[in-house]
Structure 1
Amino acid sequence: MALFDFLQEGAQERYLPSIKIIAERWDIMLGEDALDGVNDYTFAERVISLLESGKYRADFILQVISDLGSIAWWRGPHLSDGHAGRVAALARRLHLSGADALTLPPRDIPLSAARRAHVVFAGDLAGPFHSPSRGAIDYVAALAMDPTVERIDLHHGGEIKNNMQAYIDERLGDVPPERGLNLISTQENPDYLVDAIRKGPCTYHFWCEPIMAPQITIASRLGPTVMFTCGDEPPPQYADVFWYFHEPQHMAPIWKRRGAPASYIRNYVQSLSGPFYDEGPPAPRARAEVHLPQDAFVIATVGNRLAVDLDETFVTGIEKILRDRPNCIWLVVGGLPDNLLDACQAILGDQFRYIYQDLELARLMTTVDVFANPFRQGGGNSAMIALTAGAVLLTTKDGDVASMAPPEHRAKDPEDYFARLAMLIDTPGALDAWREPQRERCRVMTDQTHFLSALKAMVDLAHQRFEARQGRTLTSVVEED
């Protein structure tokens, strides 16, 4: 079986063009027959064993590791802890050896300079409905709130389309000229890193930059580094500060299990707020507009990768909840493979409603009682939309969505998850009791003054750690127990 024939099995149609590019690239890099006969159980082991064999160039290895992460995200299977640890160790070793080989004198970066100048790497700015792209602009908008900042360079890849430019204009159009704001295309200016160095000392920020981008580790040779993380995954490259919304005690055991060095775990900090543009609650939408009964209890699940996210345990649990409660409706928003869509319609009947896409998702979520997050790592953007619309979040303790719910609202496992869903449906007043603390958490998460304060503290901590590691190789810093 050709590699693409295997990879397209179980993948949603929207990801097939990208998966085909990966398959063609791997045929060239690894050899056309290198992955013959793999299945979902042997695929990751075969790929990783090839990468560890010593037969391939470093740039090939890093590209394949990056692609492997995309495949796991788009069609599965999810990498086991052991596999994740092996690819991370391999990537770390290659990045660190390359960065440490650069001949660079010790850099004197005063704290005042690190606070005044910021270089942000943010990957492609795909559009305002792409949460990493939107977040990149909101991140810069938060930095620009600081009156002491004199330089912000936002480095991005790809072409900026009209709808993305409109969001940039909306959020950054009024930034004062004295903030020194520049948007720099890494495609149009391949010497972007050299130019950043020439402009003088700064703090380097990484917001959803491709995880194998070599400038991430190189930047840590040049100045303090701050990196946003997500999905509970430990990054493969070093930063002086890693941050996300989860508590350190949640992240530490997961990162350790998935092969992160002790130094990475020490460098993680929690932020209770983030770069969110709070536009206020959306205008309510009448249920009749979307053909939902007024007296139904509506459970919504939303996603771009539902072929991967909706596993058997989740779908079976939802089915049982509906079977025992005829007043409940499961609303699914996002692309579903035909076989799963047909099965849900046949088994659940009128208790199942499906919308492929809704450009007014925030308004749609005002018709929902519970946003039922599948057992997945992602989903943070749609969960935040649902939360601001007034829906109650239900999630397990892991992944992005869990960080948006109070700890006491996070289910410990699927059994607990469905018990909590049953309680929310069956117990009068339960929704209101959950809604208020979730709204308070949302208020803090979207407070941009709070986030700017947290971001400034992270910059100071990154500078402190940068100063402490001067004169040492990055490898020695990372490997320190």
Structure 2
Amino acid sequence: MGVLDEVLNDAQPGYVASVRTILQRFMDALDPTAFDGVAKADFVLHVIDLISHSSLASGHRLQLISDLSSLDWWCDLELGDDGSAALAALARRTYFQEAHAIGFQMERADPAVQHAHCVFAGLLLDVLHSPTRGAFDYIHALAADPDNHTVDVFYSGTLTPALQAYARTRLGASLAKVTFHSIDADPNFLAQAAGSGPRTFHFWCEQAFIIHISLAALVGPTVMFTCGDAAPVQYADVYWYCQDPAYIAKLWRRKGAPDGFADNYRQLESAPFNRSVAKQNRGRAELGFRPEETIIVTVGNRLGVDMDQAFVDGMGALVRDNPEIRWVLVGRMQAFWVEAFESVLGSQFTHIPYDDDLASLLAVCDIFANPFRAGGGNTALMAIDAGAAVITRGDVGDVGAFVPSSHLSCDAESYFAMLGALVDDRALRAAWLVEQQTLLARRLDQDNFARELKVLTQIAFRRFSARIPTSLETIFAQPMPKRLALRSSGRGARLR
């Protein structure tokens, strides 16, 4: 079996067709024989090297870079810190080459940018899609501000009638300030965004490798949401999330983010996340659970990738040793995973491939056990809100931003020790839940988020004012030509 077949076989359910398309693009764009004899552990760095030394046009290279990033999410590739750093560095070099054709950027900061905004909202899917709901909360925070008069929203996907109805409900009267623009329908969307007058540019769940993130920084202040334990690939005047700045600085340094990126990070108390209201009340019996069981639930779209061996071994041992535990896994998984858990854990294991009323399911669970993964933040918020105490690692993943620091474990051993204590002690679970719901109330305070976002916009404007006109080397984190480096250091050149 070749390495491309191995990657395809490891694709998560629901992503097989997309993975197959990406692998075919690799075959078409790169020498197919270059994959012969390559081990899966070396696949990521090998593809990066192939792209880097190819004669492909910049746009084609960027497509393959984005494709490789997607495979990291959809397959068990283990991109790792070195792979993440190398992929991001290759992207920035490619952007830099492409951007030399651009001769325009702002040379004077107009204060009006603080009151007119462009939001790149990423993919709009449906009302069950948490980034989609968060996009409308983000837009609301800008549009409801009486000081703001314009909010242009650039999105991919489809603004369906259901989403239009949701927008009317969520935005209310402030919808009059908002105009939606389809990126898919208009290839000149960036010219429209940049040519409509002074704007602050916001990036919410936008694809990390889309070059317009960097190009926007040439013409206006930029504010970027970051999450998922990933370092940003491109420059922004302000990055934000709810994670501790020390955690972010260490993480981004480890993943090869350019010097200075972490200096632009701001920790917020609140974020544009919202509650998912249960459609119905469901009892344990209805779901096949016994009243006396302690129900531990784990939820995710990519559990086959998210659950590493340490997590699986620890959960398996905990469940086997306590017959009153039921472990519920929610999300599509490869059949071999399900068969293995059913074989070893028997009736103490339940797999639910999909549940469109996750809030009501979580309401009958006791503990949300988060795997040792990068994401999962929105589901953890939903679990806390529904009444399930969350346990997670503090050294990995974005869920750590949403639980008190005293609830965070530092490694697998302490994680399962804490989980065991929660299983054994109902009072401890109840106390944890009170503390977590108190923090959650701050995280979900949308009025506070609007105030914090306004401050971020002001900071971005000040930083933009101080840096323009900005060299391409600064935006794309490339070595500065000697004459510019000397100028920026305050030293003049002299002959030797």
What is the TM-score of this pair, normalised by structure 2?
0.92
Partners of 2:106 and 2:179 in 1: CA distance:
27
SS at structure 2 position matched to 1:153:
strand
Matching residue within 189, 197, 209 for 1:212: 209
| 1:74 corresponding residue in structure 2 | 74
| 1:168 corresponding residue in structure 2 | 167
| 1:294 corresponding residue in structure 2 | 291
| 2:469 corresponding residue in structure 1 | 471
Following superposition of structure 1 onto structure 2, how do residues 345-424 of structure 1 map, counting pairs within 5 Å?
345-397=342-394, 398-424=396-422
Contact 1:124 1:158 in 2 (8 A): yes
Identify unmatched segments of 5+ residues in structure 2. Answer: 481-488, 490-496
| 2:492 corresponding residue in structure 1 | none
SS at structure 2 position matched to 1:34:
helix
| 2:452 corresponding residue in structure 1 | 454
- Once the two structures are overlaid, the 10-residue window that deviates more, 470-479 or 408-417, is 470-479
Partners of 2:308 and 2:27 in 1: CA distance:
30
Following superposition of structure 1 onto structure 2, how do residues 209-288 of structure 1 map, counting pairs within 5 Å?
209-278=206-275, 284-288=281-285
| 1:27 positional shift | 1.5
Partner amino acid, structure 1, of 2:244? E
Compared CA separation, residues 232 and 274, structure 1 to 2 (3 A): same
Contact 1:280 1:388 in 2 (8 A): no
Contact 1:241 1:462 in 2 (8 A): yes
2:53 is aligned with 1:53: yes
| 1:153 corresponding residue in structure 2 | 152
Deviations 1:384-442 (A, max 9, x none): 11111011111111212111111111111111110000011113411012111110111
| 1:55 positional shift | 3.6
Following superposition of structure 1 onto structure 2, how do residues 413-452 of structure 1 map, counting pairs within 5 Å?
413-452=411-450
| 1:174 positional shift | 3.6
Partners of 1:3 and 1:223 in 2: CA distance:
44
| 2:98 corresponding residue in structure 1 | 98
| 2:36 corresponding residue in structure 1 | 36
| 1:173 positional shift | 4.4
Compared CA separation, residues 424 and 403, structure 1 to 2 (3 A): same
Contact 2:106 2:220 in 1 (8 A): no
| 2:493 corresponding residue in structure 1 | none
Partners of 2:426 and 2:135 in 1: CA distance:
41
Partner amino acid, structure 2, of 1:381? N
Partners of 1:5 and 1:176 in 2: CA distance:
48
Deviations 1:306-358 (A, max 9, x none): 11112221111011111221111101111121111111111101111111111
Contact 2:3 2:40 in 1 (8 A): no
Partner amino acid, structure 2, of 1:133? T
2:199 is aligned with 1:187: no
2:128 is aligned with 1:123: no
Compared CA separation, residues 162 and 34, structure 1 to 2 (3 A): farther
Compared CA separation, residues 38 and 128, structure 1 to 2 (3 A): farther
| 2:84 corresponding residue in structure 1 | 84
Compared CA separation, residues 215 and 357, structure 1 to 2 (3 A): same
Contact 1:96 1:217 in 2 (8 A): no
Partners of 1:94 and 1:409 in 2: CA distance:
42
| 2:334 corresponding residue in structure 1 | 337
Deviations 1:94-148 (A, max 9, x none): 223433552125343333x122100011222111222222211121012122111
| 1:240 positional shift | 0.6
Partners of 1:51 and 1:316 in 2: CA distance:
38
Partner amino acid, structure 1, of 2:66? S
Contact 2:7 2:40 in 1 (8 A): no
| 1:271 positional shift | 1.2
| 1:211 positional shift | 1.3
Partners of 2:54 and 2:25 in 1: CA distance:
19
- Once the two structures are overlaid, the 10-residue window that deviates more, 72-81 or 416-425, is 72-81
| 1:284 positional shift | 4.2
Partner amino acid, structure 2, of 1:74? W
SS at structure 1 position matched to 2:450:
helix
Partner amino acid, structure 2, of 1:472? T
Contact 1:224 1:466 in 2 (8 A): yes
Partners of 1:400 and 1:450 in 2: CA distance:
20
Compared CA separation, residues 167 and 3, structure 1 to 2 (3 A): farther
SS at structure 1 position matched to 2:371:
coil
| 1:77 positional shift | 1.6
| 2:314 corresponding residue in structure 1 | 317
Contact 1:298 1:331 in 2 (8 A): yes
Partners of 2:48 and 2:327 in 1: CA distance:
39
Contact 1:99 1:221 in 2 (8 A): no
Contact 1:100 1:475 in 2 (8 A): no
| 1:11 positional shift | 1.6
SS at structure 2 position matched to 1:262:
coil
Deviations 1:171-195 (A, max 9, x none): 2344252xx2101001222222222
SS at structure 1 position matched to 2:261:
helix
Identify unmatched segments of 5+ residues in structure 1. Answer: none
| 1:214 positional shift | 1.4
Partners of 1:10 and 1:186 in 2: CA distance:
31
| 1:163 positional shift | 3.7
- Once the two structures are overlaid, the 10-residue window that deviates more, 125-134 or 68-77, is 125-134
| 1:22 corresponding residue in structure 2 | 22
Contact 1:95 1:237 in 2 (8 A): no
Contact 1:242 1:269 in 2 (8 A): yes
Contact 2:277 2:359 in 1 (8 A): no
Partners of 1:307 and 1:196 in 2: CA distance:
39
| 1:280 positional shift | 6.2
SS at structure 1 position matched to 2:59:
helix
Partner amino acid, structure 2, of 1:132? P
Partners of 1:147 and 1:315 in 2: CA distance:
51
